[in-house]
């Protein structure tokens, strides 16, 4: 089969290669990939700015149907529509795994990073990671389940977003837009999304479509005074930080109210980011570092979409055949896309 392979360490080093079809082991299933979504981490892997173990087929955000079943697998049938968590390789026995968070396990080697992923017609992996994809969720939307589950785990499960909360989001990229959709569907109001003029176009249009009150453009607005103005000087209840920008993180301490919360989902790409530490202490802020997603967040995300509460289809701006992966990367890097779906 033809697959998109990161074949060696270093920038670039990605191409379509002819590779053998995978086979399921006893506790695994073979999945026919119906749709795979391009993630920001795929771009980071392309540029050699993210951990990965080459040669590896890229792709961890996918949906499909079961095309083969290992002999120890129960509860699944050929043709079942599925999505899969990505936490392959988690050891199952360390403190983190045993305490219910295998997605944070040090041994994890996720799909498309440590083991072959879904930029291919077929992928094989553990049946234990599957979730049933309801008939009313199309495969392209199913391919968005991983980032939606990540944001659900962070915003709802970890940071405890409540109906009526006022929220600011920094960064209008795919994770910022997904966070916006989740926040709205949870009954909270997004008073602002912080971006730059260069984000103008499809991303800010999507933000408007998903229901943000105001787009804070850092080229023309001062985000801190804008947020204070919109909250009667109090500050937002919750800041969702998806930009990883040191300036945004710094300003975040001023944008949230006393006893407010920061939900950090964005990676900064730097070893250290300076923060106004004492300001955080005196305001008694809560700063949650969030990473990956667990079983309950996946079920919650699937439930919200299936019930029509979360319009995830609006996040998709492009569908391309898998062979056009490079075009998909280009659309994302030039900020012309929100989520791009590749079809094997």
183 forms beta bridges with none
Minimum CB–partner distance for residue 109 and Zn ion (Å): 11
Task: Output 137 or 216, the one with its CB closest to Zn ion.
Answer: 137
* Residues from 62 through 91 that contact Zn ion (CB under 5 A): 91
Interface pattern 18-47 for Zn ion (x via CB under 5 A): ---------------------x--------
- Least spacing, CB of residue 119 vs Zn ion, in Å: 13
Note whether 326 binds Zn ion by CB under 5 A: no
Residue in 13, 19, 43, 94 binding Zn ion, rule: CB under 5 A: 94
Q: How far is the CB of 201 from Zn ion (least distance, A)?
A: 22
For residue 244, the minimal CB distance to Zn ion (Å) is 14
Closest approach, Cβ 101 to Zn ion, in A, equals: 9
CB of 310 to Zn ion, least distance (A): 17
Binding flag, residue 188, Zn ion (CB under 5 A): no
Start-to-end CA span in the chain (Å): 10
Quote the CA–CA distance of 236 and 254 in Å, as a whole number: 9
Nearer to Zn ion, 98 or 270 (CB): 98
> Residue 94 or residue 128: which is nearer to Zn ion going by CB?
94
Is residue 100 within the footprint of Zn ion (CB under 5 A)?
no
69 vs 240, which CB is nearer to Zn ion?
A: 240
Span from 20-28, 94-102, 136-144, 204-212 in contact with Zn ion (CB under 5 A): 94-102
Closer to Zn ion at the Cβ: 149 or 227?
A: 149
The least distance separating Zn ion from the CB of residue 111, rounded to whole angstroms, comes to 10
Nearest to 221 by CA among 168, 262, 263, 264: 168
Is 97 a residue that touches Zn ion (CB under 5 A)? yes
- SS3 for the chain is CEEEEECCCCCCCEEEEECCCCCCCCCEEEEEEEEEECCHHHHHHHCCCCCCCCCEECCCEEEEEEEEECCCCCCCCCCCEEEECCCCCCCCCCHHHHCCCHHHCCCCCCECCCECCCCCCEEEEEHHHEEECCCCCCHHHHCCHHHHHHHHHHHHHHCCCCCCCEEEEECCCHHHHHHHHHHHHCCCEEEEEEECHHHCCHHHHHHHHCCCCCEEECCCCCHHHHHHHHCCCCCEEEEEECCCCHHHHHHHHHHEEEEEEEEECCCCCCCCCCCCHHHHHHCCCEEEECCCCCHHHHHHHHHHHHCCCCCHHHHEEEEEEHHHHHHHHHHHHCCCCCEEEEEC
Shortest distance (Å) from residue 92 CB to Zn ion: 6
Interaction of residue 149 with Zn ion, rule CB under 5 A: no
Site string for Zn ion, 104-143 (x = CB under 5 A): -x--------------------------------------
Closest to Zn ion by CB, 117 vs 252, is: 117
Sites of contact with Zn ion (CB under 5 A): 39, 91, 94, 97, 105
């Amino acid at each position: 089969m033809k697959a998109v392979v990161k074949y060696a360490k270093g920038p670039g080093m990605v191409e379509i290669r002819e590779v053998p079809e995978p086979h399921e082991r006893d506790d695994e299933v073979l999945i026919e990939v119906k749709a795979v979504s391009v993630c920001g981490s795929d771009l980071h892997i392309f540029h050699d700015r993210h951990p990965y173990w080459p040669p590896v087929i890229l792709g961890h955000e996918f949906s499909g149907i079961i095309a083969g079943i290992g002999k120890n697998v129960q509860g699944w049938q050929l043709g079942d529509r599925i999505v899969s968590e990505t936490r392959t390789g988690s050891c199952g026995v360390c403190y983190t795994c045993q305490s219910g968070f295998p997605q944070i396990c040090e041994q994890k080697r996720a799909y498309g990073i440590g083991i072959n992923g879904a930029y291919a017609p077929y992928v094989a992996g553990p049946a234990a990671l599957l979730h049933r994809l309801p008939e009313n969720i199309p495969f392209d939307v199913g391919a968005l389940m991983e980032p939606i589950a990540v944001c659900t785990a962070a915003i709802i499960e970890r940071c405890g977003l409540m109906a009526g909360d006022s929220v600011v989001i920094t960064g209008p990229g795919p994770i910022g837009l997904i966070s916006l959709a989740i926040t709205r569907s949870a009954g909270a109001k997004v008073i602002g999304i912080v971006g730059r003029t260069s984000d103008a176009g499809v991303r800010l249009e999507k933000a408007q479509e998903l229901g943000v009150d105001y787009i804070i453009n850092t080229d023309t607005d001062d985000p801190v005074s804008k947020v204070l103005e919109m909250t009667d000087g109090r500050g937002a209840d919750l800041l969702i930080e998806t930009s990883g920008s040191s300036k945004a993180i710094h300003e975040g301490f001023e944008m949230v109210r006393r006893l407010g919360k920061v939900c950090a989902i964005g990676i900064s790409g730097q070893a250290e980011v300076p923060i106004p530490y004492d300001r955080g202490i005196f305001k008694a802020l809560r700063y949650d570092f969030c990473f990956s997603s667990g079983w309950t967040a996946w079920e919650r995300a699937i439930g919200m979409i299936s019930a029509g509460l979360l319009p995830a289809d609006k996040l998709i701006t492009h569908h391309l055949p898998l062979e056009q992966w490079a075009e998909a990367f280009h659309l994302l890097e030039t900020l012309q896309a929100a989520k791009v779906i590749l079809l094997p």
